[in-house]
Amino acid sequence: MYNLLKGKKGIIFGALDENSIAWKTAERAHEEGATFVLTNAPIAMRMGTINLLAEKTGSQIIPADATSVEDLENLVEKSMEILGGKIDFVLHSIGMSVNVRKKNHYTEQNYDFTHKGWDVSAVSFHKVLSVLKKKEAMNQWGSVVALTYMAAQRVFPDYNDMADNKAYLESIARSFGYFFGRDNKVRVNTISQSPTATTAGKGVKGFDGFIEYANQMSPLGNASALECADYTITLFSDLTRKVTLQNLFHDGGFSNMGVSQMVMEHFVEKQGK
Ligand SMILES: NC(=O)c1ccc[n+]([C@@H]2O[C@H](COP(=O)([O-])OP(=O)(O)OC[C@H]3O[C@@H](n4cnc5c(N)ncnc54)[C@H](O)[C@@H]3O)[C@@H](O)[C@H]2O)c1
């Protein structure tokens, strides 16, 4: 370990179970010397095992529905009390689509579900940033990261309305990041991660085929949740102080591929040539 986050204080959203990207990030942040508060939606607390993570990392848990500004205000205030000062890093690792859950086709959405998923997956990021800024909760050169997926730029049909939510989320990172950078020297970025076998990931139709396809397309193979955590730690560290307003691909090279030898061979075999 490198002590990259020694003395830094943070808030980590979205650790549901040990597969969660946020869970791995919390473990790595702890190893790198950070102290932080863990948070998740009250309902997820009942389903998940976040208490184990809190014990392991010596952290306190504050429940917050990320769509509720009131919950977020309480979270940010209490976090500063618990951690004894302003915040250096925040991870937004939140995603949910009711249309995906209910297996509604992208072309035939229930718009109440669309609205809910958009609020949870995208607007919640604006709310988090807004509360942090209003409360002057971030230290200078602090860093906020949200997780996204490449369906924001390219078509992945089964990603459904989450594609639109991710496009919106990435735009918030740029638009809000401008003001947060200008006024408070806080950086805001999104990490566009490979398909990863988590609760949210596995909820996407055809996930098994899809994750293998991405793996075979990427020269370095898919990035794991732990590797995503490692990358996130670098963005929380002082080594990346001038990186902001970026959507950063962490996908083994997938996003710049057209086709790979392995995928080609699959189709050549199929044709019996
Ligand atoms: N798994 C993948 O393939 C993949 C790929 C790229 C990006 N991502 C993104 O990574 C992030 C983390 O997802 P994950 O894959 O670790 O899955 P996960 O299911 O472990 O995490 C999603 C989290 O969102 C939380 N959440 C849902 N509604 C909430 C609310 N109202 N308030 C607060 N929290 C809420 C859940 O409780 C859960 O902890 C998401 O933004 C996801 O879209 C995932």
The per-residue pLDDT for range 54-97, each reduced to its tens digit, is 999 999 999 999 999 999 999 999 999 999 999 999 999 999 99
> What domains does the chain contain, in order, with CATH numbers?
9-270 (3.40.50.720)
Select from 18, 147, 218 the residue to mutate for testing ligand 1; criterion: most ligand atoms less than 8 Å from CB: 147
Model confidence at 8: pLDDT above 90: yes
Q: Is 81 exposed, middle or buried (CB count within 10 Å of its CB: 0-12, 13-18, 19+)? A: exposed
pLDDT band at residue 267, thresholds of 50, 70 and 90? confident
Give, using CA atoms, the residue closest to atom 5 of ligand 1. 195
Express each pLDDT in 180-205 by its tens digit. Answer: 999 999 999 999 999 999 988 888 88
Tell which wins on pLDDT, 118 or 271.
118
pTM (predicted TM-score):
0.98
Express each pLDDT in 160-187 by its tens digit. Answer: 999 999 999 999 999 999 999 999 999 9
Select from 72, 96, 131, 168 the residue to mutate for testing ligand 1; criterion: most ligand atoms less than 8 Å from CB: 96
Output the ligand 1 site: residues, CB below 6 A.
Answer: 13-14, 16, 20-22, 40-41, 44, 65-67, 93-96, 120, 147-149, 193, 195-196, 198-201
The closest-lying atom of ligand 1 relative to the alpha carbon of residue 120 is 31
